[in-house]
Chains A and B, each alone.
Chain A
Amino acid sequence: MTPFTHLNAKAAPLPMMNVDTDIIIPKQFLKTVKRTGLGVSAFYDIRYNDDGSVRDDFAPAQDAYKGAEILVTGENFGCGSSREHAPWAILDMGFRCLIAPSFADIFYNNSFKNGILPITLPKDQVTQLMQEVQENPDATIEIDLEKQTVTRGNKFSFHFEIDPFRKHCLLNGLDDIGLTLEKSATIRSYEEKRHAEKPWL
């Protein structure tokens, strides 16, 4: 996994609540057996018109936000199905950091596994950030994972919380499976004990 330390990038606004994973990547694109290539299909129904052109009201796909790597959005982002195709699609679209007042659990978890940093900030701070990027599409937002801050020049700087283990894995680009397999002996002895106590399991 690619480590995540610092990000200095433009941010795109998506001011919607409850953006579910069906919106992020509709079901017709779940039939892939790969992780890549979903970016063009991300947000399909709210992004494209029937004739395939980009809808004017979908900011993240407008020229002004070209190259944005941060997505600022509303509450309960990523609710619904557990499909990891959602973070894959978002990553493939070019976003490495998401900022919202809240995220749905499974989506939040899946994001980390793909090197995406989901940042939860209080609602008023997200509103401020949203306004800033809507008014200044070129604004550079600085994300510092080590210091846990989201900064816009000298306009504002917000602190965010993150689980220390997740932070550590992101900063170092660590792969969970590799980490866990180092504990094989502990896992084996747990399993043996469990089998002795509850042999039907």
Chain B
Amino acid sequence: MTDTPRTLFQKIWDDHVIERDDNGTCLIHIDRHLVHEVTSPQAFEGLRMAGRPVHALDKTLAVIDHNVSTAPDRLTNLGNEDSRIQIETLRTNCEEFGVQLFDISDKRQGIVHIVGPEQGFTQPGMTIVCGDSHTSTHGAFGALAFGIGTSEVEHVLATQSLIQSPAKSMRITVEGKTAPGVGAKDIILAIIGEIGTAGGTGYVIEYAGQAIRDLSMEGRMTICNMSIEAGARAGMVAPDETTFQYMKGRPMAPKGDHWDMAVKWWKSLATDEGATFDREVVLKAEDIAPIVTWGTTPEDVVPITGSVPNPDDFDDENKQNSARRMLDYMGLTAGTNMTDIKIDKVFIGSCTNGRIEDLRVIADLVKGKKVAANVEAMVVPGSGLVKQMAEDEGIADILKEAGFDWREPGCSMCLGMNPDQLSPGERCASTSNRNFEGRQGKGGRTHLMSPAMAAAAAITGKLTDVRELTE
């Protein structure tokens, strides 16, 4: 087996198989399990009813993120009754079962997919799961990371393993260098536009090529994060020097001799020359412009220089009908220039783009400028540590000065489980990952884009080509 060239995914998979049955279904070992308040209560309840303990406490970490308030008074005000119950349920469960929890008062608290990498809990070569579809984020480290449902959360808590059938493999190569003003978010939106929201179903995607290699860990996380938006089970990037630099010295990363052993192993994980994929897709980085979405699925993308598409122009009748419905929901008319679309709100944050690098980009752009009078703009750092860094670096002051609302960390308006929501008909430039109907609030209209593009929109009050602001 070691002689046949293998992909990164195959290597990690093979390394984790505990048992394989005749049909190829495997019991695989799970190295890391992240837990949050929304998808875990019923799992802990199941354990309790069966009298089962948590199998591996050192491999389990819990955070509160989804429906935590992002307001300054949140330590004393947990929000509405349901949110309070869910948060307190997680606290009680963690205490009862002995699971480590980053509670709201902890500086390390934040969005689960920002916290894992930040702590070094996420490492190359691992299998990482969480009851959350954006677990694919952690694949940026060369880990096999995927979202699971609550029954599986319970399964992992009880056994530190999962029953899985192997996925198909896809490699997406982004060749060459991106143009100025184009970043990781534009690359992944371009990819989803290319393969569609179901294009990755059944696959684990490996991202490769110079444009991917050139990205920082933050950028790679943005890419892998949205793999699920293409329907993929997981997304991954082979670990390299960029990865090791990021990992080194993180609180939960290996230390001393273990570090050297780990790096040696991590280096062996890259896809072998000659390994084959079930599907290959190639994009040219130079063809990618800053991108925004116009519809209510992440595949409905258009370059900012383009216009709202005409439903009649789609080949498939189903797509024509759904495009009509989407334009109606989004309150858009075919043919309108994207840059003529006015916005009401800006949301910068989420596990896609709530990291320090994202905040640095927007601070550079908005320094000395003001948020447009018609716009309410909020910035929600992805974790307490990101918030701290941004405050230390003066980023928070720049943003506040420009008129942005500077919040406490959490998922916030990415899904609007807390009071951070759009009102019906409100239009939002958002750095999150889903533009589904009602995602950011009932009747709310979401345009997905990069942090730079969202910041540009905040300043001009309409969708804007960020390159015009920087030229």
List residues of A whose CB falls within 8 A of some B CB: 16-18, 20, 22-23, 26-28, 30-35, 45, 74-76, 79-84, 87, 102, 104-106, 109-110, 113-114, 163-165, 176-177, 179-181, 183-184, 186-187, 190-191, 194, 198-201
Contact = CB atoms under 8 A, between A and B. Distances in A.
Most-contacted residue by chain B among A35, A105, A180 (CB, 10 A) = A105
Given A22-B434, A33-B89, A76-B198, A176 B155 contact: yes
Contacts, number: 174
B145 to A, nearest CB: 12
B149 A113 contact: yes
Contacts of B231: 76, 79, 104-105
Nearest to B18: A190
B25 A165 contact: yes
A35 B151 CA distance: 10
A81 B86 CA distance: 18
B387 interface: no
Interface string B50-87: 10100000000000001100000000000000110110
A62 to B, nearest CB: 20
Contacts of A194: 29
Interface of B: 18-19, 21, 23, 25, 27, 29, 31, 38-39, 41-42, 45-46, 50, 52, 66-67, 82-83, 85-86, 89, 123, 126, 131-133, 135, 146-152, 154-155, 158-161, 163, 165, 197-198, 201-202, 231, 233, 254-255, 258-259, 261-262, 265, 297, 318-319, 322, 415-417, 434, 436-439, 442
B37 to A, nearest CB: 9
Most-contacted residue by chain A among B165, B254, B261, B438 (CB, 10 A) = B438
B152 to A, nearest CB: 7
Most-contacted residue by chain B among A163, A176, A179, A200 (CB, 10 A) = A200
B197 A106 contact: no
13 contacts: A26-B442, A27-B416, A27-B417, A76-B198, A82-B131, A83-B39, A84-B131, A106-B149, A163-B25, A180-B163, A198-B261, A200-B262, A201-B31
Contacts of B89: 33
Contacts of A27: 415-417, 439
Contacts of B197: 18, 76, 79
B19 A26 contact: no
Contacts of B163: 165, 176, 179-180
B154 A109 contact: no
Given A79-B231, A106-B133, A164 B23 contact: yes
Most-contacted residue by chain B among A23, A33, A74 (CB, 10 A) = A33
A83 B417 CA distance: 13
Contacts of B50: 177
A186 B19 contact: yes
Contacts of A74: 318
Contacts of B146: 106
B38 A83 contact: yes
Contacts of A110: 149-152
A183 B31 contact: no
Contact of B155 (A16, A81, A180): A180
A22 B29 CA distance: 30
B41 to A, nearest CB: 4
B121 to A, nearest CB: 11
Contacts of B434: 20, 22, 80-81
A163 B438 CA distance: 34
Contacts of B297: 18, 20
A177 B442 CA distance: 37
- Which 4 pairs of residues, A with B, have the shortest CB-CB distance? A31-B82, A113-B151, A110-B149, A33-B41
A80 B233 CA distance: 11
B149 A76 contact: no
A35 B135 CA distance: 22
Given A31-B417, A33-B45, A23 B437 contact: yes
A177 B155 contact: yes
A199 B259 CA distance: 11
A190 B26 CA distance: 13
A84 B150 contact: yes
Contacts of A18: 197-198, 297, 322
Most-contacted residue by chain B among A79, A165, A183, A199 (CB, 10 A) = A79
A114 B258 contact: no
Given A75-B198, A104-B231, A80 B131 contact: no
Contacts of B442: 26, 45
Nearest to A112: B151
B166 to A, nearest CB: 11
Most-contacted residue by chain B among A45, A163, A190 (CB, 10 A) = A190
A22 B439 contact: yes
A81 B50 CA distance: 27
A200 B437 CA distance: 44
Nearest to B131: A82
A39 to B, nearest CB: 16
A30 to B, nearest CB: 5
A26 B438 contact: yes
Contacts of A31: 38, 67, 82-83, 85-86, 417
Contact of A104 (B148, B165, B198, B417): B198
B262 A80 contact: no
A113 B39 CA distance: 15
B80 to A, nearest CB: 8
